[in-house]
Amino acid sequence: RGAAQPAASAVMDAEDAGTAPADERGVVFDTAGAFYRRESMYGRDLAALTLRMHADERARAARCASARAEGGGDVPAPPVAGASGAHQTTSADGCGVVVLDALAGSGGRAARYLVHGGAAHVHANDASEAAAAACSSNLASVDPQGGRSTVTCG
């Protein structure tokens, strides 16, 4: 048997990249000509969900440790999601989950780590200067003050 051929839709997605913004679960980003495969959104969903669960568990563990240190035995209630669905992602000492997206492309996954995954900070990198520039622009749309993300090209 020969090597598996990419699905026609994957090839079309790569050719059409940059012609229209992608929208994944409310996070809109410009693929800027970088390879983008719509069908991989479910993998990005799982990555963001896994990160969210890890961030929530770290926050819960920090609350437990804080309650024990203060002599209480009860675990404080978890933070309540706001109207936007956002959760507090850092513990009382300011530590949170930091993510490296080493092959960031246009930054869709990195943006979803910030918006859906509960990342305190995302460091995104791509070898392509054009992709890194697109990633920087896309992360600026979800991190307008720039304090929760950095982008490098290398």
Record the tokens describing residue 109, joined without a space.
């996954």
41, 32, 36: which is closest to 14 by C-alpha? Answer: 36
pLDDT of residue 91: 34
Per residue in 60-104, pLDDT tens? 888 888 888 887 665 555 554 443 344 444 433 445 899 999 999
Record the tokens describing residue 86, joined without a space.
């956002």
DSSP-derived secondary structure for 78-136: PPPP-TT-----B-TTS-B-EEEETT-TTSHHHHHHHHTS--SEEEEEES-HHHHHHHH
Per the DSSP assignment, residues forming a β-bridge with 126 are 153
Indicate yes or no: pTM above 0.85.
Answer: no
Per residue in 25-35, pLDDT tens? 999 999 988 87
N- to C-terminal Cα separation, the chain: 37
Domains identified in the chain and CATH numbers = 8-79+92-153 (3.40.50.150)
Q: How confident is the model at residue 140 (pLDDT cuts 50, 70, 90)?
A: very high
